[in-house]
Amino acid sequence: MTLRCYARLYGVLALLRILIAFTSTSAIHPDEHFQNPEIAASTVAVYSEAGEGLLRTWEWEGTAPCRSIIPILGSTGWMFALLRLIASDKPTGYALFVDYLLWSTSKGAPVPLLMFAGSHIVFTFLLRPFSNSLETLLLAGAFYLAPHGGKKNVTSRLVAFGAVLALGVFTRITFVAFTAPLVLDTARHLALQPSRTPQSPLLRLAKRSYPILLAFLATAVTCALADTMYFSSTESPSSSRLILAPLNLLRYNLLTSNLAEHGLHRRYMHVLVNWPMLFGAGLAIIPTAALPRAKESDLKREERRRVILYLASFLVPTSLLSLQPHQEPRFLVPLIVPLALLAPYSTMFSSGTRRSRKSRKAFWALWLTHSTIFTILFGYVHQGGLLPALFALNSQLGDSSTALGTSRAVDIVFWRTFMPPRHLLLPTTDATAVVPAVTVTDLAGAPFDALVSTLLDKSAHQSRTTEAAHSALLVAPAYSVRSLDLLCPANPASSKPRSFCLEPALFHGDRMERTFGVHIDMDRLGELRHASWRTAGVGVWFVRRTTSHTRKLAIMSAATKTQVEAHGGAGDLGEQKPQKGPQPTGDAPRYEEGKKNAHDLSDSKDERSIANNLAAAKAKEKAESQQEDSTGYSGVRAAEAHGNKPSRGAQIDEELKKEDEELVKKKQT
């Protein structure tokens, strides 16, 4: 392949990267938001003080904060400062900057650049504000700035190298593992490089490395002071002493009990699972890396040194990170840098034989196929409905002409999604704007019973206010919700009696015809069997308190059905056939049969509470009928004794009133 072909292919991949950056709506991991833009937004942007506000995770709280503010302000912070001129918080320019660093480090070799540009790591992880993405950028910068053969030890480069090392450590403590081989190689190079006067290697190393050390210390102190000032401004309990975020994070990760809260994995998880997932066919470069067979020239020795360095930079960090039992794929994202730099030294690319040409074709086919599959998965469909739903809710909450925008308070329940980033949900505002007070309830992967209990709680709260003043919403995968039979029926009289139901939210004046995005939850793939094209994404529903009239129609419908069945299934009550034996007379017996039938219909989980309420009401009614001076249904009995039999509707109203009172008492206790 000629250099021109490489250039054209790279141009296509670069344009594809930009397109994916502005169209991808998936969520790989909650940390892509909560370790960076959520904090940057709370620092720079202005949000309403009503409601809960933005979320600060454990890494930013307590007496020992584990994250530094400098990498945040340097990545997404300035984007918020520019008032979000681009409707995205993904550092696309940073990923392109890595391309330049790889091109320069590899001395213009096209293979590393093309391999990097075609990786799904670039299309997904590096287009998002992960701390791992910043770590990858800084690692590429460290390789570019590191002194090695053929480069003069310019003081400015050494200073920049030391500053990059310090920034990397304050971005992620794992940066030490990724740069350990590079730092050792740099020390070896500085110690063994010839000098004009005879000196010991240690003396030469001390004289030539002091710019690196001074720059490292100056940058580290600056970051520590900035963190101390930042956390003191947030009224953290640790504000009275110097904050060293990398050391705090290291101490946290050394305790297995802490890691257990995030999930424990086997020690071989990185090698057997995460390597193939991230690098696919690229792993073939490791065993086929070509070491020079001879040392005839300085160039050969330099090539050998580079191969050893890149191999060590890939294998050593993996070994060190495998020591801890919490192993996520994104922890290995920076390894794409040494792997791409190692590619030209593989026999697949360094040899011109026929076998090598076939190997190259197979490699590129497998590499691009692997990238396509995982780009679609991680870039579009993995938790792919959450962000579009948040964008729609953000627009509604900030618009005073919508039902949500005019509400004083809005409760939003998220179920079976990632943690919702608040900076994408809450609208920005100024001192004069009035926006709803938003409260977020994150149920994560809670069971169905917990969802019903939460929605009952929200609907009970609505009963004490008006829906115009207080709105409650559910955000969840549509295929999970629709399979639970919780939606508001078109005909209330034909539905089961219940305390709440879910009504599709109205956006832009039209009822929701389709859900947001395509949403795949890797932890619950089995639920996809309930999905269709219209229910493949995330839905948004209003939690509606069922009115007494609606529930009364449902119970009356059940009673009517029972009466029809008791009279031979006639479709019209006026055409009932005579039945043998004693016949039920009056409204009260039919109402009792209706309650029994309603109880029989309530066999699903979401109707258990209603069935229990009906059974309790029946028992209570029986006990009260034996008393002379009581309220409720005893009043009905008294009226019957005086010949003034109340209507069936009055009886049902009394029953529903008691049910509402019980729900309110349960909420208060």
Pick from 521, 498, 511: which is nearest to 542 by CA?
511
Pick from 86, 173, 184: which is nearest to 138 by CA?
173
pLDDT in tens, 265-276: 999 999 999 999
- Domain co-membership, 643 together with 507: no
pLDDT score at 270: 95
pLDDT score at 647: 47
Question: Does 249 have pLDDT greater than 80?
Answer: yes
pLDDT in tens, 643-653: 444 444 455 55
Total structural domains in the chain? 2
Q: Average of pLDDT values for 492-512? A: 67
- Domain co-membership, 524 together with 511: yes
Whether 9 maps to a domain, the answer reads no
Domain around 645: 551-571+586-668
- Domain co-membership, 629 together with 613: yes
Question: Does 596 have pLDDT greater than 60?
Answer: no
Question: Does 629 have pLDDT greater than 60?
Answer: no
- Domain co-membership, 541 together with 403: yes
pLDDT in tens, 112-134: 999 999 999 999 999 988 999 99
Burial of 386 (0-12, 13-18, 19+ CB in 10 A): buried
Q: Average of pLDDT values for 557-585? A: 44
Question: Does 581 have pLDDT greater than 60?
Answer: no
User: In this predicted structure, which of 212-216, 307-311, 394-398 has the lowest mean pLDDT?
Assistant: 394-398
Q: Average of pLDDT values for 312-341? A: 95
pLDDT score at 286: 92
pLDDT score at 495: 58
Whether 590 maps to a domain, the answer reads yes
Q: Average of pLDDT values for 529-546? A: 86
- pLDDT band at residue 355 under the 50/70/90 scheme: confident
pLDDT score at 433: 66
pLDDT score at 411: 92
- Using CA atoms, how far apart are residues 420 and 440, in angstroms rounded to an integer? 9
Whether 89 maps to a domain, the answer reads no
Characterize the bridge pairing of strands 538-545 and 470-477: antiparallel
- Using CA atoms, how far apart are residues 413 and 473, in angstroms rounded to an integer? 6
pLDDT in tens, 180-216: 999 999 999 898 887 777 778 888 888 889 999 999 9
pLDDT score at 588: 41
Q: Are 541 and 477 in contact (CB under 8 A)?
A: no
Whether 346 maps to a domain, the answer reads no
- Using CA atoms, how far apart are residues 642 and 647, in angstroms rounded to an integer? 14
pLDDT score at 317: 97
Question: Does 341 have pLDDT greater than 90?
Answer: yes
Q: In what order do the strands lie in the sheet with 500-504?
A: 437-442, 409-414, 470-477, 538-545, 500-504
- Using CA atoms, how far apart are residues 487 and 582, in angstroms rounded to an integer? 40
The two counts, helices (H) then strands (E), for the chain are 29, 7
- Using CA atoms, how far apart are residues 254 and 246, in angstroms rounded to an integer? 12
pLDDT in tens, 8-61: 888 899 899 988 888 888 888 888 888 888 887 777 666 666 667 777 887 888
- Using CA atoms, how far apart are residues 573 and 587, in angstroms rounded to an integer? 14
- Using CA atoms, how far apart are residues 9 and 12, in angstroms rounded to an integer? 5
Residues 6 or more apart whose Cβ sits within 8 Å of residue 228: 239, 241, 242, 243
- Domain co-membership, 390 together with 533: yes
- Domain co-membership, 556 together with 409: no
Whether 203 maps to a domain, the answer reads no
Whether 560 maps to a domain, the answer reads yes
Q: Average of pLDDT values for 141-152? A: 80
Q: Are 245 and 59 in contact (CB under 8 A)?
A: no
Characterize the bridge pairing of strands 409-414 and 470-477: parallel
Q: Are 39 and 72 in contact (CB under 8 A)?
A: yes
C-alpha distances (whole Å) from 405 to each of 50, 428, 435, 630 are 13, 13, 7, 46
Whether 140 maps to a domain, the answer reads no
Whether 251 maps to a domain, the answer reads no
- Of 281 and 545, the structure prediction assigns the larger pLDDT to 281
pLDDT score at 606: 43
Q: Are 638 and 644 in contact (CB under 8 A)?
A: no
C-alpha distances (whole Å) from 606 to each of 209, 365, 499, 502, 547 are 69, 51, 10, 12, 17
C-alpha distances (whole Å) from 397 to each of 44, 342, 368, 403, 423 are 20, 50, 42, 9, 13
- Domain co-membership, 397 together with 510: yes
- Of 414 and 503, the structure prediction assigns the larger pLDDT to 414
- Domain co-membership, 431 together with 512: yes
Q: Are 585 and 640 in contact (CB under 8 A)?
A: no
C-alpha distances (whole Å) from 388 to each of 24, 511, 596 are 10, 16, 45
- Domain co-membership, 533 together with 610: no
- Domain co-membership, 390 together with 524: yes
- Domain co-membership, 524 together with 596: no
Q: Are 143 and 38 in contact (CB under 8 A)?
A: no
Burial of 67 (0-12, 13-18, 19+ CB in 10 A): buried
Q: Average of pLDDT values for 293-310? A: 72
User: In this predicted structure, which of 245-249, 482-486, 648-652 has the lowest mean pLDDT?
Assistant: 648-652
* Mean pLDDT, all residues of the chain: 77
Phi, psi dihedrals of residue 435, rounded to the nearest 5°: -125, 160
- Domain co-membership, 495 together with 557: no
- Using CA atoms, how far apart are residues 666 and 669, in angstroms rounded to an integer? 5
pLDDT score at 496: 64
- Of 127 and 64, the structure prediction assigns the larger pLDDT to 127
Instruction: Please state, as a whole number, how many other Cβ atoms lie within 10 Å of the Cβ of residue 490.
Output: 7
CA angle 485, 487, 490 (to 5 degrees): 115
Percent of the chain whose predicted confidence (pLDDT) is above 90: 32
